[in-house]
Amino acid sequence: MNNVKITVVKQFSPEDVIGKEFIRADGTPIKKCGMTEGLEFSVDESGSMPEGFCHHAWYGLYKNIAILQCGGGFPNWTGEDMIYTACPDGIRPVCFKLERVSERGD
């Protein structure tokens, strides 16, 4: 199994997605996710969620992480060793780049 590097590529605010601020029922606004651009995480061969990673994003990304860990990919789309994907948050999504890291670490 291969390791996978996760990089936060872009985060979006509710204004970016729906064109206006999103206010919860209690009156508080929903802000951008705390997963800031450039933040990196590593997934080792165990496939466990990295410490500090958002569990909602993990559920959305895990299938693509598993594809890369097992040697698969989308060569005609993003290349052999990389997949771009996003978390399932429809109000303030975050886009990620997933990169296969060889077992030797290169």
Using one digit for the tens of pLDDT, what is the confidence trace for 20-33?
A: 999 999 999 999 99
Measured CA to CA, the distance from residue 12 to residue 22 in angstroms comes to: 13
CB-CB contact of 48 with 63 (8 Å) = no
Q: Residue 85 corresponds to which amino acid?
A: T
Measured CA to CA, the distance from residue 69 to residue 54 in angstroms comes to: 20
Question: What pLDDT shows up at residue 106?
Answer: 47
105 pLDDT exceeds 60? no
pTM, two decimals, is 0.90
- Percent of the chain at pLDDT exceeding 70: 96
CA distances from 53 to 2, 23, 104 (A): 19, 25, 24
103 pLDDT exceeds 70? no
